[in-house]
Amino acid sequence: MLRYIGQRFLQYLLIIFIANSLTFLLPRIIPGDPIQEALQTKAAAAGHQNVDIQAWVAEYNAKFGLDQPLWKQYLNYWGNMLRLDFGYSLFDFPATVMSKITAAIPWTLGFMTMAIIIAFVVGTILGALLAWPNSPRFLQGAVPLLMVISAIPFYLFGLALIFIFGVELHILPTGGGADPTLIMRWDWNTLGNILQHAILPAFALVLYGIGSWALGMRATLVTVLGEDYITFAQAKGLPDRQVFTRYGVRNALLPQVTGLAISFGLILGSGVLIESIFNYPGIGSLIFAAINSKDYFVINGTVAIMVFTASTALLIVDLIYPLIDPRIRFGK
């Protein structure tokens, strides 16, 4: 067991090492100067056409240490990573990248957690019902529909939802995290407003999520129900309902729970598209804005955080899996 944890942890360090080295190296292989580009964009946006861009660039390069040799930059990069210091925003100087990320993270975590949990619970129950031999026939007709839903990239739902509920029906806001005029306080009004804004982006995710969780649960459960231990449980004279829940669902839940843990690990990255479509003030919109203003350090910092959380989550999944599946705990 200790050996397993050790091996898994070493692998984790390796992943972090390779991923960070790649995020350092790849952008530097590609020709072009991020700072010059960013500043040109910034200058154009601000209307300073006649500023000496070259002098500005030199100043910034010195500030970010980009004039040093590559190996020194690399060591520097690691030092900064370990301190979670991703430097300053190019576009929004002197705001630090980290301050922008910490401002955005609660929004993403909030609406994504809501969406993931609702989708998981509803989808898993639906999937279980679909696999239940005594479920009503009309439910079986939902399977192709669920397949269609889970096939479509979910951000496309977002566009349709904005159009239907925001533009045509005018019952929900079309974007943003809260009303621009709202003053944030710890009260019901603020909470209600925030929730109202989160409904549509979350709904787009939930719609897609229900489809894939339900299909996953159904497929696993159908396989489990074909196992010999189900036959033996029936032969023991247990009521159908008990066979289904204690023997069927109990076993089929294992991969679902793993999937849930993984989706929490990918929480920062998987909402990027939906957030940018809804202009939701989370990590996704941060990266969207950064891309379009060529704010390279923000992009770099955000991606590094995403890679870090995702690989950490995978590590945690692998470490908790033995707790939920005894076969791994006691196997070698």
Contact set for other proteins, span 101-130 (CB under 8 A): none
**CB-facing half-sphere around the CA of 303: CA atoms within 13 A:** 16
Q: Compute the least distance from the CB of residue 34 to other proteins, in Å.
A: 7
If the CB atoms of residues 74 and 190 are measured against other proteins, the closer one turns out to be: 74
For position 310 contacting other proteins by CB under 8 A, the verdict is yes
Residue 251 contacts other proteins per CB under 8 A: yes
- Note whether 261 binds other proteins by CB under 8 A: no
Number of residues that bind other proteins (CB under 8 A): 85
Q: Does residue 291 touch other proteins according to CB under 8 A?
A: yes
**Quick one: which of 153, 180, 181, 185 contacts other proteins (CB under 8 A)?**
153
CB nearer to other proteins: give 202 or 310. 310
Q: What are phi and psi of 222, to 5 degrees?
A: -60, -40
What is the contact mask toward other proteins in residues 158 to 177, using x (rule: CB under 8 A)?
-xx-xx--xx------x---
Query: Of the two residues 100 and 294, which places its CB atom closer to other proteins in the complex?
Result: 294
Q: Which stretch binds other proteins (CB under 8 A): 98-106, 107-115, 188-196, 270-278?
A: 270-278
Q: Are 114 and 107 in contact (CB under 8 A)?
A: no
Separation CA 269–CA 257 (nearest Å): 20
Q: Which is nearer to other proteins, 63 or 246 (CB)?
A: 246
Check residue 85 for interaction with other proteins (CB under 8 A).
no
Residue 83 or 332 with smaller CB distance to other proteins:
332
211-240 positions binding other proteins, by CB under 8 A:
219, 222-223, 225-229, 231-240
Q: What CA–CA distance (Å, rounded) separates 123 from 208?
A: 10
Q: Is 303 in the site for other proteins (CB under 8 A)?
A: yes
| Binding residue for other proteins, selected from 34, 127, 201, 216, defined by CB under 8 A | 34
Q: Does 134 bind other proteins (CB under 8 A)?
A: yes
CB of 205 to other proteins, least distance (A): 15
Report angle CA 239, 226, 263 to the nearest 5 degrees: 100
